[in-house]
């Protein structure tokens, strides 16, 4: 055997080993998917039936989506909250990032440090005052309040600022000479140049908001305002013993993210690697 062949053989062997390990990461998801297709009596049969003996897909998903505890409502709530949070947060962050990197004003440096300093504050350390504030100003138990909570992202500002700093100042200077104000320069020159970075941030924010459990738990009270993460937990409490239905709900909650992730895979992975950001 040549050295190259040995090398290839080794690579193949390691690939096989890694495949085996990766099963450990996918198995719970496969189990979830398979359980969601089964009749309740078959969920816990052992050895595990990976391919259901009796299929019950339509009945399970119908019960979850339009049954006693209809998921379509919570889905709509989640889509609304997630999309609006993502858009607002990306916009506010981009504005601030441009202001901190491309507009030359005296207070800029200090203001940026102040904003950055708040990043160290763990969210749970301010939950109680936020809760009290929301009760006082009437934002408690509303989607608007929930959206505003995650709309002012220091992380987004920091991330996008790095990219705005990469935009050459000559573009901005020459636009200024042509008489353009900062608003036009932002929209027509700078923003299009950093669009990939904004997209990366938006996808991450989308995933985090979609998966957020803690904020809806604390800041929402009325059933009909629930997001799916909250609804899913409630669903579990109500349907305690109906694991096939619970798994159908879990699959429904994960599926949109899986799609977003597969479409934006490169952006997500790059964004995470780049900023080393964590939700």
The residue (of 6 and 274) whose beta carbon lies closer to other proteins is: 274
Stretch binding other proteins (CB under 8 A), from 52-60, 166-174, 193-201, 230-238: 230-238
**For other proteins, which residue of 40, 59, 130, 199 counts as binding (CB under 8 A)?**
130
Q: Quickly list H helices, the chain.
A: 3-36, 57-66, 71-102, 108-117, 127-137, 143-149, 154-165, 169-177, 182-185, 191-193, 195-211, 214-219, 228-238, 243-263, 265-275
Cα 212 to chain center, whole Å?
8
**For other proteins, which residue of 60, 82, 86, 229 counts as binding (CB under 8 A)?**
229
User: Would you give the DSSP letter of residue 37?
Assistant: T
**For other proteins, which residue of 53, 106, 113, 177 counts as binding (CB under 8 A)?**
106
Residues in contact with other proteins, shown as a per-residue x/- string from 62 to 101 under the rule CB under 8 A: ------------------------------xx-xx-xxx-
**For other proteins, which residue of 84, 87, 127, 189 counts as binding (CB under 8 A)?**
127
Q: How far is the CB of 2 from other proteins (least distance, A)?
A: 17
Can residue 125 be called a binding residue for other proteins (CB under 8 A)?
A: yes
Which residues 234-263 are close enough to bind other proteins by CB under 8 A? 236, 243, 246-247, 250, 253-254, 257-258, 261-262
Asked if 150 contacts 215 with a C-beta cutoff of 8 angstroms, the reply is yes
**For other proteins, which residue of 109, 118, 144, 166 counts as binding (CB under 8 A)?**
118
Asked if 61 contacts 248 with a C-beta cutoff of 8 angstroms, the reply is yes
Stretch binding other proteins (CB under 8 A), from 51-59, 61-69, 166-174, 266-274: 266-274
The residue (of 25 and 58) whose beta carbon lies closer to other proteins is: 25
Q: Quickly count: other Cβ atoms within 10 Å of residue 116's Cβ.
A: 15
For residues 201 and 205, what is the distance between their CA atoms, to the nearest angstrom?
6
Which residues 163-222 are close enough to bind other proteins by CB under 8 A? 181-183, 186, 207, 210-211, 213-214, 217-218
Q: Which residues of 55-67 are buried (b: 16+ CB within 10 A; e: fewer)?
A: ebeeebbebbbee
Stretch binding other proteins (CB under 8 A), from 57-65, 69-77, 128-136, 194-202: 128-136
- What the block records as the tokens of 124 is 């749970």
Total chain residues near other proteins (CB under 8 A): 90
Residues in contact with other proteins, shown as a per-residue x/- string from 35 to 54 under the rule CB under 8 A: x--------x-xxx------
Q: How far is the CB of 243 from other proteins (least distance, A)?
A: 6
Half-sphere CA count of 106, side-chain side, radius 13 A: 0
Asked if 93 contacts 157 with a C-beta cutoff of 8 angstroms, the reply is yes
- What the block records as the tokens of 74 is 């919570």
């Amino acid at each position: 055997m040549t050295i190259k062949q040995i090398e290839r053989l080794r690579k193949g062997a390691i690939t096989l080993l890694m495949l085996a390990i990766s099963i450990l990461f996918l198995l719970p998801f496969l189990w979830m998917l398979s359980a969601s297709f089964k009749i309740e009596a078959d969920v816990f049969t052992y050895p595990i039936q990976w391919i259901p003996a009796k299929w019950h897909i339509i009945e399970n998903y119908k019960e979850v989506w339009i049954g006693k505890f209809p998921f379509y409502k919570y889905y709509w709530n989640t889509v609304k909250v997630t999309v609006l949070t993502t858009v607002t947060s990306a916009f506010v962050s981009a504005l601030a990032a441009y202001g901190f990197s491309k507009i030359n004003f005296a207070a800029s440096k200090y203001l940026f440090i102040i904003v950055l300093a708040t990043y160290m504050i763990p969210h749970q350390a301010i939950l109680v005052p936020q809760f009290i504030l929301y009760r006082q100003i009437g934002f408690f138990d509303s989607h608007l309040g929930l959206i505003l909570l995650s709309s002012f992202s220091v992380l987004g500002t920091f991330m996008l600022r790095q990219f705005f700093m990469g935009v050459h100042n000559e573009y901005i200077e020459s636009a200024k000479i042509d008489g353009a104000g900062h608003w036009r320069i932002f929209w027509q020159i700078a923003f299009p140049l950093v669009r990939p970075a904004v997209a990366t941030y938006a996808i991450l924010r989308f995933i985090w908001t979609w998966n957020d459990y803690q904020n809806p738990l604390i800041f929402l009270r009325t059933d009909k305002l629930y997001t799916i993460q909250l609804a899913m937990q409630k669903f579990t409490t109500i349907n305690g013993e109906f694991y096939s239905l619970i798994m159908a709900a879990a699959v429904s909650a994960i599926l949109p993210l899986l799609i977003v992730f597969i479409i934006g895979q490169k952006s997500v992975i790059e964004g995470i690697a780049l900023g080393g950001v964590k939700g």
